[in-house]
Structure 1
Amino acid sequence: MTAPRTLLTAWNIQAKKQLGQNFLSDANVARRIVEHAQLTDDDVVLEIGAGLGAITLPAAKAAHQLIAVDKDRQLIGLLRAELLAAGINNVEIREADILRLDINTLAGQVDRPLVVMGNLPYNISSQVIVKLIHARQYVDRAVLMLQKEMAQRICAGPGSKTYGRLSVMLQYCATARELMQVKAAQFFPAPKVDSTVIGIRFSDPPPFPAIDEALLFRVIKAAFGKRRKTLRNALSQSDLQLDPATCEMLLTQAEIDPTRRAETLSVAEFVRLSNAVATKDNS
């Protein structure tokens, strides 16, 4: 791969801080990331933020097709030139905002679930993960590079300080694990923190299905909305419109001590709690 500094200088382009642009500059790291995706010639990859093509080129060589999404118009011409020079012709480049892209429709067009890859800017990481959760019927797996702190949050288990709303939402319907670490020095320009590559594989159906998934996500949000408070107090002070006595009753019904805090609950316990809330008017 051509060094990012060299490419950007040749095309008179500067990395845009507002888009969180830090370009991977180590070809060996890019190769290892693609290897972790375990691509076959039947896979269609959706790459988020293709940038200068560090992951695009090796991933396209391993997959049936790659759809590269980037919202920076300046980079698209550069990426096309890099693909042409490498003799790669199975990449479709879309100038688009990933948060507005309809993944369901895209998967329908290629007639198979997608493998999602990308180096995610910190400011949209959470939104992308939530988007993938909602579109998981159309996503087989994902290999994503995130800021180290964000990756730790996503993969954290109950009882950890980093365990939170996003951890529970993702682990409800997927397994997530850290695959490899990437130092800040392996990017240009170098970010202030290191990155972690994580692997996500979605489960269908989830191991502990919720009666009402939208309600489950509301309960999770409510519980972590005031994470320093007991569950009874956090839930009763949320938009779930439950008084303290009802919260205590529902928590007891779900076999959860009302004085516990959100970060101590397992995914299965959150599902039991949301199911109790979903059926409270029938009990």
Structure 2
Amino acid sequence: MTLYQQTREFLKRTGRNPNQKLGQHFLIDPHTLQEIAWSAKLTDADSVLEIGAGLGFLTSVLAATAKRVVAIEIDEFLYAELQLKFSQTPHISLIQGDILKQNLANLLNDSPPEHTKIVANLPYYITTPVLWELLKYRQKIGSCVLTMQTEVAERIISSPGNKRYGALSIGISYYAEAEIVHRIPPDQFFPSPQVDSSVLRLQMRDTPQFTVDNEALFFRIVRAAFQSRRKMLRNALLKNGVFISAEVFNTVCDQLAIDPQRRGETLDIAEFAALANGLHQHISE
């Protein structure tokens, strides 16, 4: 049977429909599944954490090469199907649960970072929270290959001057190198989503892209700047809880040759890092 036929057979047998609340869209194109696995650059020394295993179509492809696959699935019916399918495959471990409620430190503890990889067809409604969660464990992860809505993938790789450029662009760039490696049209899923999808590859950096004295302040500034992206930078910071006197702000901007009347959306990551360091120095004095 084709993957489409297998999906329809499962739904008919269990009397279910794809769960819209969970954002279920099953990837049914074998070539695309193989492209995702190739993009992960798997070896037989790798451990893979798969988020949203679904009916196990990608799980099977990953397990053909990887040393170990840990597959997480929140849907109890899909999880039961995965248990039936992989009960005789010892190097595949199954977990039922919400990825955002898992202790990833424990799941990622066995292999060195260069052999620890994340592969996922992310439900679109939790893509951004999952990305931020994975970044918390970046020192345990070598790379991620993530299928997501194209609009989100393009936000991540955007640069200043692009309307999609934002806090997520900077957060990902700070910790990882990102590239779109594959595009997936809606008809390769069942049911077909209303949007195009892309496969994004993240290669985690050994160290952040720039040296920042206070990461908490850096990210506060970045988020504040984009929460009011049409305001001049200092006004955006003040409105969103980063309280800096005009004198200090103007002094730091002058030292960095940054026009204080610029909007935050025009600053690149290097300028945000320099601004955060300059402000931190004055705040700490």
Give CA deviations for 1:133-188 in whole Å, capped at 9, x if unaligned: 12101111000000111111011112111000100011011110000100111111
Provide the C-alpha distance between the structure 1 equivalents of 2:256 and 2:16, rounded to a whole number of angstroms. 56
- Residue 72 of structure 2 corresponds to residue 51 of structure 1: no
Task: Look up the match of 2:77.
Answer: 74
Task: Look up the match of 2:95.
Answer: 94
Give CA deviations for 1:103-126 in whole Å, capped at 9, x if unaligned: 222222x23332011111121111
* Aligned counterpart in structure 1 of residue 15 of structure 2, from 6, 12, 16: 12
For the Cα contact (< 8 Å) 1:99–1:131, is it kept in 2? yes
Provide the C-alpha distance between the structure 1 equivalents of 2:237 and 2:247, rounded to a whole number of angstroms. 11
C-alpha displacement at 1:243, in angstroms? 3.2
- Residue 254 of structure 2 corresponds to residue 252 of structure 1: yes
Task: Look up the match of 1:32.
Answer: 35
Structure 2 unpaired stretches of 5+: none
Structure 1 unpaired stretches of 5+: none
Task: Look up the match of 1:229.
Answer: 231
Task: Look up the match of 1:174.
Answer: 176
Give CA deviations for 1:30-51 in whole Å, capped at 9, x if unaligned: 0111111010111110111111
Letter of the 2:271 counterpart? E
Identity in percent = 37
Give CA deviations for 1:227-267 in whole Å, capped at 9, x if unaligned: 00111211122211223333323333333211111222111
The within-5 A match list for 1:192-231 is: 192-231=194-233
Select between 215-224 and 239-248 the one with higher mean Cα deviation.
239-248
Task: Look up the match of 1:111.
Answer: 111
Task: Look up the match of 1:63.
Answer: 66
* Aligned counterpart in structure 2 of residue 150 of structure 1, from 142, 148, 152: 152
Number of equivalences: 280
For the Cα contact (< 8 Å) 1:57–1:88, is it kept in 2? no
Q: Name the TM-score, length of structure 2 as normaliser.
A: 0.93
For the Cα contact (< 8 Å) 1:69–1:95, is it kept in 2? yes
Distance 1:233 1:185, change over 3 A: same
Provide the C-alpha distance between the structure 2 equivalents of 1:249 and 1:105, rounded to a whole number of angstroms. 46
Distance 1:96 1:254, change over 3 A: farther
Distance 1:217 1:223, change over 3 A: same
Provide the C-alpha distance between the structure 1 equivalents of 2:137 and 2:175, rounded to a whole number of angstroms. 11
Letter of the 1:65 counterpart? R
Task: Look up the match of 1:190.
Answer: 192
Provide the C-alpha distance between the structure 1 equivalents of 2:66 and 2:174, rounded to a whole number of angstroms. 29
C-alpha displacement at 1:282, in angstroms? 4.3
Instruction: Give the SS at the match of 2:21.
Output: helix
Provide the C-alpha distance between the structure 2 equivalents of 1:212 and 1:282, rounded to a whole number of angstroms. 11
Instruction: Give the SS at the match of 2:118.
Output: strand
For the Cα contact (< 8 Å) 2:173–2:209, is it kept in 1? no
Instruction: Give the SS at the match of 1:227.
Output: coil
- Residue 52 of structure 2 corresponds to residue 41 of structure 1: no
Provide the C-alpha distance between the structure 1 equivalents of 2:208 and 2:237, rounded to a whole number of angstroms. 24
Q: Deviating runs (4+, > 6 A) in structure 1?
A: none
Instruction: Give the SS at the match of 1:18.
Output: coil
For the Cα contact (< 8 Å) 2:39–2:145, is it kept in 1? yes
Task: Look up the match of 2:24.
Answer: 21
Letter of the 2:3 counterpart? T
Letter of the 1:33 counterpart? I
Question: Alignment RMSD, CA only?
Answer: 1.5
Instruction: Give the SS at the match of 2:126.
Output: helix
Provide the C-alpha distance between the structure 2 equivalents of 1:232 and 1:148, rounded to a whole number of angstroms. 32
Provide the C-alpha distance between the structure 1 equivalents of 2:26 and 2:220, rounded to a whole number of angstroms. 36
Instruction: Give the SS at the match of 2:208.
Output: coil
Provide the C-alpha distance between the structure 2 equivalents of 1:253 and 1:122, rounded to a whole number of angstroms. 42
For the Cα contact (< 8 Å) 1:60–1:90, is it kept in 2? yes
